[in-house]
Amino acid sequence: MSTSDRQDADQKYLQQRQLKRGAAGWILLAGLGVAYVISGDFAGWNLGLAEGGWGGLLIAFVLMGIMYTCMVFGLAELSSTLPAAGAGYGFARRALGPLGGFATGMAVLIEYAVAPAAIAIFIGGYVEALGLFGLTNSWPVYLVAYAIFVGIHLRGVGEALRLIFGITAIAVVALVAVVIGLIPHFSVGNLFDIVPDGSPASSAFLPMGISGVVAALVYGIWFFLAIEGVPLAAEETADPKRDMPRGIIAAMLILVVFGALMLVLVPGAAGSEAMSTSDNPLPEALRLAYGGNSILAEFVNYAGLAGLIASFFSIIYAYSRQLFALSRAGYLPRWLSLTGKRRTPYWSLIVPGTIGFILAAATGNGGLLINIAVFGATVSYVLLNLSHIVLRKKEPDLPRGYRTPGGVLTTSVALALAAVAVIATFVVDVLAASITAGIFGAALLYYWFYSRHRIVTGAPEEEFARLAAAEAELKK
C-alpha cells in the first residue's frame, strides 16, 4: 500500500471513530467531576468505620485527600498538554511507551467498568429501602438502570452531560440539607462510640489500632474515586487547555468540602457504630437524630438515589471513553470504537454495561466490587503520577496550558501515597485484589502477544508519541 493510500485508509478509519467536539465547558466539566464521585458521599464510605473506627477513617480521608489533590494538580497539567479522549492512557503512552500506556488504560478501564456495578447495587438498596415497586430482589433495578442510562448516552454527549449536571445539582442540594439537619444533633462523643478491639495501639480514637488505618484507606478513596475521569472528556471540550484545569480543580475542591462534612456530621449525629454497617447512612442518620422518620429524611433518601444515579450515569460515560480510546488505537478490538450518527461510541457503551449488569446481578456484593474497582484505580494512580514525573524530566519544554504547583514534588507525594493504597487493597480484601490482579495480568499478556502488533499509528495518542519521537530525533 502506498503512503497516500495508507493515509486515506487511516483518515477513513478515524472518521468512523469521531466524538462530538465542543460539547462541554469548564462548568460542565466540574459538574462531571462531582458527578463521578458524589455517590461516595451517600454510601460506601461509612463501611470504613467498621474497619478503622472514626479516627482511622479520618486519617485515611486526610491521606487520600492529599493523594487525590496532588494527583489532580498533575492531571490538570497533563490534560491541558495532551488533550485526547484516552486521558490517563494517553498521558502514560507519551511518558512510558506503549506498554505503560496500555497498562494504565486497562487499570482505569477495570475501575470504571466495575464501579457502576457496585453503584447499581447501592441503587437497588436505596430502592428497596424506599419500598418502591414492592421489590425484594434488586436485579430488575440493575437492568433498568443500565438500559436507561446507557440509552441516554447513546443519544448524544451534550444531552447526557447536561442531564448529569442536573441530577448532580439535586444530590448537592441533598448534601446541604443533611449538613443543616445534622448540625444541631452533633456530639463529639458519638464519633468515638466504637469499643476498642484490643489491637496494638487501639484506643477510643483508633479502636482497631494502626492496622485499622490501613484497612480504612480503601474507604477513604471512595470519597474521591473517579475524579481522575474528567480528562476523558478532552476531545469533547470547547477549550481543553483552559477548561480542563479549571473543571477538575473546581470539582476536587467541592468534593473535599462535602466529604469532610459527611465524615464529621453523619457519625457525629448518629454514632459511628450505627453508621458502620448502614446501606443508606445519610437518611438513617437523620432518622436516628430526629427519633424517627421525617420529611427531611425522606427527601434525602430520594435525593440520595439521585446522587447514586449521578455517579452511575457519569461513570458510564467514563468507561465508554476509555474503552473507545484504547480500541481506536488498536490496543483492544477496533470494532469497539465505532461511533454512530450522533458521534457516540455505541459498542463502548453497551459491552461494559452488559458486563457490569452481569457482575451486579451475579454477586450482589457492593463491597467486593468496590474493592475490585479501587485496586484498578490505585494501580492507575501509580502510573499516572509516574507519567507526570517522567514527562517533566523527559520533555521539560513541552508546551503546557497549566503547570502543577510544586512540580514533580507534588506528584511524587501522590505517587508514594498511591503505592501505599495499592498495598492496602490486599490488606482489606485479598480475594478482590487477587482477582483484579489476575485480570490485569491477563490483559498485559493479551497486549504482549497480540495487540501490540496491531496498533493504529494514526490514532491521536499514537500521533502525539510519534511527533515527540520525531522532535527528539531532530534535536540530536
Average pLDDT over residues 126-132: 73
Inform me whether the pLDDT recorded for 158 exceeds 70. no
3-state secondary structure of 223: coil
Task: Flag whether 473 is in a domain.
Answer: no
Longest CA–CA separation in the chain, Å? 78
Torsion-angle region of 132 (φ positive above 0: left; ψ -120 to 50: alpha; else: beta): beta
Residue 272 lies in domain: 24-458
Report pLDDT for 339: 83
Residue at 104 is within a domain: yes
Cβ–Cβ contacts within 10 Å for residue 10, how many? 15
Residue 469 is predicted with a pLDDT of: 58
Highest averaged pLDDT of the listed ranges 91-100, 188-197, 451-460: 188-197
Residues 6+ apart with CB under 8 A from 183: 265
Chain mean pLDDT for the chain: 86
- Structural domain tally of the chain? 1
Amino acid at 445: L
What integer pLDDT is reported at residue 461 of this predicted model?
65
pLDDT at 438: 92
For residue 169, being part of any structural domain is answered with yes
Q: What share of the chain in percent tops pLDDT 90?
A: 44
Are 171 and 310 a contacting pair, CB within 8 Å?
Answer: yes
The predicted pLDDT at position 464 comes to: 59
Question: Helix H segments across 198-294?
Answer: 209-222, 240-270, 272-275, 281-290
Adjacent-strand bridge partners of 24: 237
- Global confidence as pTM: 0.86
Average of pLDDT values for 20-37? 76
- Outline where 395-429 has alpha helix (H): 408-428
Whether residue 204 lies inside any domain: the answer is: yes
Asked if residue 404 lies in contact with residue 414, where contact means CB atoms within 8 angstroms, the answer is: no
176-216 pLDDT, tens digit each = 999 999 999 999 999 999 999 888 889 999 999 999 999 89
* Domain-located, residue 467: no
Q: Tell me how far apart the alpha carbons of residues 407 and 119 are, in angstroms, rounded to a whole number.
A: 35
Q: How confident is the model at residue 306 (pLDDT cuts 50, 70, 90)?
A: confident
Q: For residue 357, what is the domain's CATH number?
A: 1.20.1740.10
Question: What is the rounded distance in angstroms from the CA atom of residue 218 to the CA atom of residue 373?
Answer: 10
Rg of the chain on CA atoms, in Å: 22
Confidence of residue 140 (pLDDT cuts 50, 70, 90): confident
Q: What are phi and psi of 24, to 5 degrees?
A: -140, 140
Residue 100 lies in a domain: yes
Phi, psi (deg, nearest 5) at residue 337: -100, 5
Distances (CA, A) of 159 to 152, 320, 350: 8, 16, 18
Residue 230 lies in a domain: yes
452 has which bridge partners?
A: none
Q: Which of 67, 60, 41 shows the shortest CA–CA distance to 414?
A: 67
